[in-house]
């Protein structure tokens, strides 16, 4: 017996290599290739930009810069300020910091600066709170707030009217937030 002939069920493709068809194929595959290359370049660029942005130090707002400048005016040795925690809000900044005193003692303190926009749409300081009595604070703590002391109004008004805030903004202060993520246990055991 003879073997039955196998017929393929797939349709035969007729290849036409005429000049017109080659131009159509070139156009189709080149645009696809261009899209793939463009997508790859875009993806690599995006990843590069994100990784560069992630390597930049965190920046604070100008409110942080103004509050930091005010604090440095109030501390005896501003070069010894080490920030522990920085909290930034829409209209306020709270800085927890340690500083060295006159006799070498370490002290943990807090300052909170609140800001408003005046009628001329200029930034001005509204209130300043310290967690201990200073020469510029009121003698009695704020009622209902524990051991928080408000800076006297005339000190804040003098700071606002002296042109300090526009000068600080014009001076473009370094708004890089300090790294507060150091190992806190390291400081505890450092004296052993």
131-149 tens-digit pLDDT: 988 888 888 888 777 789 9
168-179 tens-digit pLDDT: 999 988 898 887
How far apart CA 104 and CA 106 sit, in angstroms, is: 7
Query: Is the predicted pLDDT of residue 186 greater than 70, yes or no?
Result: no
Average pLDDT over residues 58-86: 90
Smallest Cα–Cα separation from 95: which of 115, 105, 109?
A: 109
Query: Is the predicted pLDDT of residue 110 greater than 90, yes or no?
Result: yes
Average pLDDT over residues 87-91: 92
pLDDT mean across residues, the chain: 82
pTM value > 0.85: no
Average pLDDT over residues 98-120: 88
Instruction: Report the SS3 class of residue 12.
Output: coil
Query: Is the predicted pLDDT of residue 82 greater than 60, yes or no?
Result: yes
Smallest Cα–Cα separation from 155: which of 107, 113, 109?
A: 113
Smallest Cα–Cα separation from 98: which of 85, 87, 109?
A: 109
Query: Is the predicted pLDDT of residue 26 greater than 90, yes or no?
Result: no
Query: Is the predicted pLDDT of residue 181 greater than 70, yes or no?
Result: no
Of the ranges 36-45, 64-73, 100-109, 174-183, which one carries the lowest mean pLDDT score?
174-183
The two tokens of residue 61 are: 């707002």
């Amino acid at each position: 017996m003879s073997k039955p002939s196998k017929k393929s069920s797939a349709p035969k493709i007729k290849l036409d290599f005429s000049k017109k068809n080659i131009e159509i194929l070139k156009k189709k595959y080149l645009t696809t290739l261009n899209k793939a290359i463009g997508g790859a370049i875009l993806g690599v660029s995006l990843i590069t930009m994100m990784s560069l942005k992630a390597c930049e130090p965190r920046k604070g707002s100008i409110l942080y810069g103004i509050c930091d400048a005010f604090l440095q005016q109030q501390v005896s040795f501003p070069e010894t300020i080490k920030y522990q925690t920085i909290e930034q809000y829409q209209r306020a900044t709270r800085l927890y910091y340690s500083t060295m005193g006159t006799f070498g003692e370490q002290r943990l303190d807090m300052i909170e600066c609140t800001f408003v926009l005046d009628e001329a749409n200029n930034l001005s300081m509204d209130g300043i709170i310290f967690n201990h009595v200073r020469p510029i604070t009121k003698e009695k703590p704020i009622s209902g707030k524990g051991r928080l002391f408000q800076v006297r109004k005339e000190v804040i008004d003098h700071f606002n009217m002296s042109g300090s805030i526009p000068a600080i903004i014009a001076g473009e202060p370094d708004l890089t937030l300090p790294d507060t993520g150091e190992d806190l246990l390291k400081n505890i055991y450092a004296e052993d």
